[in-house]
Amino acid sequence: MAAAAASPAASGAASGWGVERFLADGFDLRRQLAAYLQISEAELTGRLPSSTADLAALHPGAFDLSRADQFYEETVGTGHLLELAAWHLGSADYIADTLRLQERFACGHLLDFGGGIGSHALAAAALPQVDAVWFVDLNPHNRAFVEARAAARGLAHKLRCFRDLGDPALPSRFDTLVCLDVLEHLPDPAERLAVFADRMAPEAIALLNWYFFQGFKGEYPFHLDDPLQIERFFLTLQERFLEVFHPFLITTRAYRLKVGP
């Protein structure tokens, strides 16, 4: 299955909320985040450089499978908003390529699992070929911030936020699945891949990446790096998914469901 390149009409450019707008201001990220946190933009700018270290400092140390969910749902508070904002603003070219990739494949009902500050969910919701965006994230601040951002852009009718995939209001199958920089945060990424495969429509595309590494300086203590878990992850990936080529020079991969043996 080959996806056609997004035509201008089917890209976010037509809505004014495409990749170029993201590169200009992260979809109005600084202003919106300062407003959400009730601080000035100057204070926000001052807090961004230390946000990765601040998030790492909240972490108890070794990756603890039994407490991974609690860390994202309770411990990090608004800290992840700052860390993700610093990353999306500071590595905007990289994020922009993931948005271009999303634009190429997004259609129908799109799940953004672990959607963070919502850059991908907002960009997807602005695409005419996307009927609805289903944003799932454990962190209540991330959900509230993304809901506010969607409302500010008049996209609330196309983007809804949920805590987890067990919510009965979610569709049983998705046409596009986006899960970027999340799998290494989960207690069992192989199990999550199997759940994704079960929730994909037959022609669906999943956009996935992962970084099972705690960093050369230990800056990501919250990343899973257990070799056995990683092996199970790749076995599940090979069992259930087939990679679909895309031309973007990024670590994010596109997959469809594997059919037959």
Ligand X SMILES: C[S@@+](CC[C@H](N)C(=O)[O-])C[C@H]1O[C@@H](n2cnc3c(N)ncnc32)[C@H](O)[C@@H]1O
Binding region for ligand X (CB under 6 A):
69, 72, 80, 84, 114-116, 136-139, 142, 164, 180-182, 185-186
Using Cβ positions, the residue closest to ligand X within the complex turns out to be 116
Pick the closer one to ligand X by CB: 10 or 182: 182
Q: Are 246 and 104 in contact (CB under 8 A)?
A: yes
Q: How far is the CB of 238 from ligand X (least distance, A)?
A: 23
Residue with smaller CB distance to ligand X, 14 or 28: 28
CA angle, residues 105, 183, 13, in degrees to nearest 5? 30
Q: Which residue, 157 or 163, is less far from ligand X as judged by CB?
A: 163
Contacts from 241-246 at CB under 8 Å and sequence distance 24+? 241/193, 241/197, 241/206, 244/1, 244/2, 244/3, 244/205, 246/101, 246/104, 246/105
**What is the chain's Cα-based Rg?**
18
Nearer to ligand X, 175 or 181 (CB): 181
Which residue is associated with the tokens 């271009």?
Answer: 100
Rounded least distance, CB 8 to ligand X, Å: 25
Smallest distance, ligand X to C-beta of residue 84, A? 5
List beta partners, residue 130: 108
| Cα 115 to Cα 121: distance, rounded to the nearest angstrom | 7
User: Tokens 């998705």 appear where?
Assistant: 174
| Cβ 188 to ligand X shortest distance, Å | 10
Closer residue to ligand X, CB minimum distance, 111 or 200: 111
Shortest distance, CB of residue 53 to ligand X, whole angstroms?
A: 15
